[in-house]
């Protein structure tokens, strides 16, 4: 029986197939450390079997939430339910969760098999079953031939897989991952992102992933929550959060945005409010054009002067000063014509289609003519 089928069997004993019980339910969750409010009245549901990411800067409260779910921290107020069961005051070993940390926390004096089997030994799983389950877990993370090696003989990516196998071998209902890829170099991290997503699909359990890396969250998750100062600014599918940011913080933290508000919004867009335009949606042309802030049938055109040209491998970022101190950024594919022909001080036009404009706080698309 595979790890995935074992989990399905275990899950069927806890909830019927037609039950819609969330894997994780947080209600009114609050955590303070003296006068510091780390998490402020959080309500959040994570579906059973979902890959969910908590995204935010350092100190935003996401890791504190993870530690409360794991039982390593007790909430000041609120409730935690795991698979419909109130786990708020349960000790960590009573909760049907396992945690993978950034530093892996492997035992250096044990080999890979012994590290993965440790939790099974603590639970007094029979030796034969223990060996079979360890073998299945190592095959799942593509380390079938590494059981006799010590952690010191493994690469960073291999140690991360051992930590993942050790967490999965206990068949938890929920797997908590606290920035587990943060110690890896970029290329290996991108590879492990894809492998981690494939493993989650295979085992079918709830993954709750903490990261401050926006690209990582967008790559991995089904849905994400954006944290800021102990509160959740926005929750939703990755594409919705990126395309329809609910606040200026989300617009600038999940990707980057050109924010246009106040007098600039009235002059450039002909509207009141705060608007966001993603840099990849901005087109750049040479020359000053005929006017600045022209709203035309196919979008907006503004004149500007190039402040910076930043080469970033596959793309080039163009930063331009436009009227009244407004600075706009465009991201151009380097394969596109003219992407490498711009220099500081060049006069350019920047333009975008009506569909590129999002009104912050409106939770819907807003064209420059004000149509939904």
What pLDDT does residue 338 have?
Answer: 57
Its sign, for the CA torsion 4, 6, 11, 16, is positive
Per the CB < 8 A criterion, the answer to whether 175 and 206 are in contact is yes
Does 352 lie in the same domain as 296? yes
d(C-alpha 130, C-alpha 97), whole Å: 19
Other beta carbons less than 10 A from residue 194's beta carbon: 11
Helix, strand, coil % over all residues of the chain, rounded to 5: 30, 30, 40
Paired strand residues for 33: 36
Q: Looking at the structure, tell me whether residues 229 and 313 fall in a common domain.
A: no
* Total domains present in the chain: 2
pTM flag (> 0.75): yes
Q: Are residues 261 and 345 in the same domain?
A: yes
Q: Look up the CATH number of the domain holding residue 197.
A: 3.40.50.300
Residue 216 lies in a domain: yes
346/306 Cα distance (integer angstroms): 5
Length of the chain: 372
For residues 23 and 89, state if they share a domain. yes
Q: Considering the domain boundaries, does residue 73 fall inside one?
A: yes
Answer yes or no: is 164 within a domain: no
Last residue of a domain, one of 217, 249, 281: 249
The reply to whether 118 falls in a domain is no
In a domain, 205, yes or no: yes
For residue 331, give both structure tokens: 């991201």
Residue 100 dihedral angles phi and psi, to the nearest 5°: -110, 125
Residue 271 within any structural domain of the chain: yes
CATH of the domain at 279: 2.40.50.100
324 DSSP assignment: G
Strands (E), the chain: 24-33, 36-46, 51-55, 77-82, 85-86, 97-100, 174-178, 206-211, 223-228, 231-237, 258-261, 274-277, 283-286, 294-296, 299-312, 315-321, 327-333, 347-352, 357-359
Same-domain pairing of 51 and 198: yes
- Please indicate, yes or no, whether residues 184 and 311 belong to a single structural domain of this protein: no
Q: What tokens were used for 228?
A: 């800021």
On whether both 244 and 297 belong to a single domain, the answer is no
Do 234 and 270 share a structural domain? no
| Spatial contact of 120 and 169, defined as CB atoms under 8 Å apart | yes
CB contact set of 371 (below 8 Å; sequence gap of 6+): 354
Does one domain contain both 92 and 189? yes
**195, 226, 249 — which closes off a domain?**
249
- In terms of domains, do 194 and 304 share one? no
Structural domain boundaries enclosing 183: 3-96+172-249
Distance CA 131, CA 55 (A): 37
Question: What's the pLDDT at 181?
Answer: 82
Among 234, 249, 264, residue at a domain's last position: 249
- If asked whether residues 25 and 82 sit together in one domain, one would say yes
- pLDDT at 179 (0 to 100): 87
In sequence order, the 6+-apart residues with CB closer than 8 A to the CB of 360 are 245, 246, 247, 248, 251, 259, 273, 274, 275, 276
The separation between CA 119 and the C-alpha centre of its own chain, rounded to angstroms, equals 28
Q: What gap in Å lies between CA 98 and CA 94, rounded to an integer?
A: 11
pLDDT for 340: 65
Residues 160, 165: Cα–Cα separation, whole Å: 9
Cβ partners under 8 Å of residue 33, min gap 6:
none
Asked if residue 355 and residue 277 are part of one domain, the reply reads yes
CA neighbor of 176 nearest in space, from 39, 67, 47: 67
Distance (Å, whole) CA 58 – CA 66: 14
Measured distance between the N- and C-terminal CA atoms of the chain, rounded to whole angstroms = 52
Whether 353 is covered by a domain: the verdict is: yes
Predicted pLDDT at 371 = 38
Residue 225 lies in a domain: yes
How do the pLDDT tens digits run along the chain, 372 residues long? Answer: 444 444 444 343 333 334 578 999 999 999 999 999 999 999 999 999 999 999 999 999 999 999 999 999 999 999 999 999 999 999 998 999 999 887 778 899 999 999 999 989 888 899 999 999 999 999 988 888 899 999 999 988 888 889 989 999 988 999 999 988 877 788 888 888 888 898 899 889 999 999 998 989 998 999 999 999 999 999 999 999 999 999 999 999 998 899 999 899 988 888 899 999 999 999 998 875 544 455 555 688 999 999 999 988 889 999 999 976 899 999 998 866 655 688 899 999 999 998 999 999 754 444 333 333
């Amino acid at each position: 029986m595979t790890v995935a089928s074992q989990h399905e069997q275990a899950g069927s004993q806890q909830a019927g197939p037609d039950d819609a019980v969330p894997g994780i339910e947080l209600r009114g969750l609050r955590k303070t450390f003296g006068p510091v409010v780390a998490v402020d009245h959080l309500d959040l549901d994570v579906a059973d079997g979902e890959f969910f990411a908590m995204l935010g800067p350092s100190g935003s409260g996401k890791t504190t939430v993870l530690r409360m779910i794991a039982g390593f921290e007790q909430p000041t107020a609120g409730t935690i339910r795991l698979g419909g069961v109130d786990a708020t005051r349960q000790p960590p070993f009573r909760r049907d969760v396992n945690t993978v940390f950034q530093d892996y926390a492997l035992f250096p004096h044990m080999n890979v098999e012994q590290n993965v089997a440790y939790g099974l030994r603590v639970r007094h799983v029979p030796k034969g079953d223990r060996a079979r389950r360890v073998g299945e877990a190592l095959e799942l993370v593509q380390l079938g031939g590494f059981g006799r090696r010590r952690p010191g003989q493994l690469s960073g990516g291999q140690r991360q897989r051992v930590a993942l196998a050790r967490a999965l071998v206990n068949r938890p209902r929920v797997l908590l991952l606290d920035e587990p890829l943060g110690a890896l170099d970029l290329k290996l991290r991108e590879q492990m992102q894809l492998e981690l997503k494939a493993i989650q699909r295979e085992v079918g359990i709830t993954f709750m992933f903490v990261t401050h890396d926006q690209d990582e969250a967008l790559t991995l998750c089904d849905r994400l929550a954006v944290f800021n100062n102990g509160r959740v600014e926005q929750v939703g599918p990755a594409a919705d959060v990126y395309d329809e940011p609910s606040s200026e913080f989300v617009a600038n933290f999940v990707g980057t945005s050109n924010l246009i508000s106040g007098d600039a919004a009235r002059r450039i867009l002909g509207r009141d409010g705060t608007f966001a335009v993603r840099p990849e949606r901005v087109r750049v042309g040479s020359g000053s054009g005929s006017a600045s802030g022209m709203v035309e049938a196919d979008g907006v055109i503004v004149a500007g002067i190039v402040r910076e040209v930043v080469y970033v491998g596959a793309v080039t970022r163009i930063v331009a000063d436009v009227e009244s101190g407004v600075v706009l950024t465009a991201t151009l594919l380097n394969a596109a014509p003219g992407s490498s022909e711009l220099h500081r001080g060049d006069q350019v036009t920047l333009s975008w289609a009506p569909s590129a404009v999002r009104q912050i706080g409106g939770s819907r698309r807003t064209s420059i003519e004000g149509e939904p």
